[in-house]
Homo-oligomer: A and B are copies of this chain.
Amino acid sequence: MATIYDVSQLAGVSLATVSRVMNKNANVSEKTRQKVLAAMAQLDYKPNTFAQSLASNCSNSVGVLVSQLDGPYYGPMMAEIEASLRAENKHVIIAVGHSNAATEMDSVEFLIGRGCDALILDVEAVSDEYLIELSQGPTPIVLINRYIAQISDRCIYLNNELGGYLATEHLLKLGHQEIAYISGPKNKHDACERLDGHMRALAEHGLAFDPQLCFEGNYKEEGGVDGMRYLFASGKPFTAVVCANDQMVSGAISVCLELGMKIPEQLSFVGYDNIPFARYISPKLTTINNPIHEMGKMAALWLLKNVFKNDIEVMSVFSPELVARESAKQLAR
């Protein structure tokens, strides 16, 4: 591997000069710059990133911590993050938190220890206080899918409460009055917020929230399956169910289909997330669009602008939107 020294020898200049042409900034005469460039090309010179990092204390890397890598949710987000960062020659180091506080904190330590210049965090188990303190440390962080007032400028966030509201409101408009709810795990912020939205929609329409018509699922298909079984077993009547994410809808619908029910004729469903598969599930899912990939992109751009000082435009407003497809139907009278 050619080093900066080899280049300087070949070009007949000093190390410092080579370093200068690499880092654009300083003033170098066009003539010597060309000599150096030629030498670099001839030697197929690639700077040693470790040496650069050691000397400059900047690694050009960002750590991304997500709850999980499998499942339909994080892939699109990671894809956007990778693309945006890679375009600016930064690299991304991944870590998984498994929605567990100890693991999440350990992962943060791991990534910081790895010398990441910044962190993108999608964490659920860790406390607000921890994140606030972390944000005051030397490594900049951006939070995805979480809102903490004290560090709101670092939060890339979708209004989950509004999303939950929209889901239920859609059913209400379709004439449904008895609406069941399959929630996400109550220890997850977004799950609680979505449920809050559901309850607000109910309240605004003068309907009481019936705890017996609410099941706490796990955000996975099985959660939908379990929820549906619970709801049927409850004996309570209901004409529609909203699930806190699309995976649970798919599980829920699968048990109905197995029972020979017609969906949405006999039961309406609204999901949440609008995962890519949602439109290919039968019936096509009516759901709330969750622009997770855009949020990933924005997180990356935010870092590019604020940490790496690139001159980039960053948009910043996200709103949940209803995507009406086929799984929810006007209530027959």
Chain A residues packing against B (C-beta within 8 Å): 46, 48-51, 53-54, 59, 61, 68-72, 74-76, 78-79, 82-83, 86, 91-96, 110-111, 113-115, 221, 247, 250-251, 253-254, 257, 276-277, 279-282, 284, 293
Contacts and interface: CB of A to CB of B under 8 A. Distances in A.
A79 B83 contact: no
A280 to B, nearest CB: 4
6 contacts: A54-B54, A69-B78, A82-B96, A92-B93, A93-B94, A247-B280
A97 B294 CA distance: 20
Given A68-B79, A221-B276, A250-B281, 19 more contacts: A46-B113, A48-B54, A49-B114, A49-B115, A61-B93, A69-B78, A69-B79, A70-B78, A70-B293, A72-B75, A74-B75, A79-B96, A82-B94, A86-B96, A91-B111, A92-B94, A93-B93, A280-B281, A282-B282
Given A74-B75, A91-B93, A82 B53 contact: no
A79 B70 contact: yes
A105 to B, nearest CB: 14
Task: List the number of copies, as a whole number.
Answer: 2
Contacts of A92: 93-94
A63 to B, nearest CB: 9
Nearest to A64: B94
Nearest to A75: B70
Contacts of A50: 50, 53-54, 59, 115
Contacts of A71: 75, 276
Given A69-B75, A78-B69, A79-B70, A110 B86 contact: yes
A217 to B, nearest CB: 14
Contact of A91 (B53, B114, B277): B114
Contacts of A250: 277, 280-281
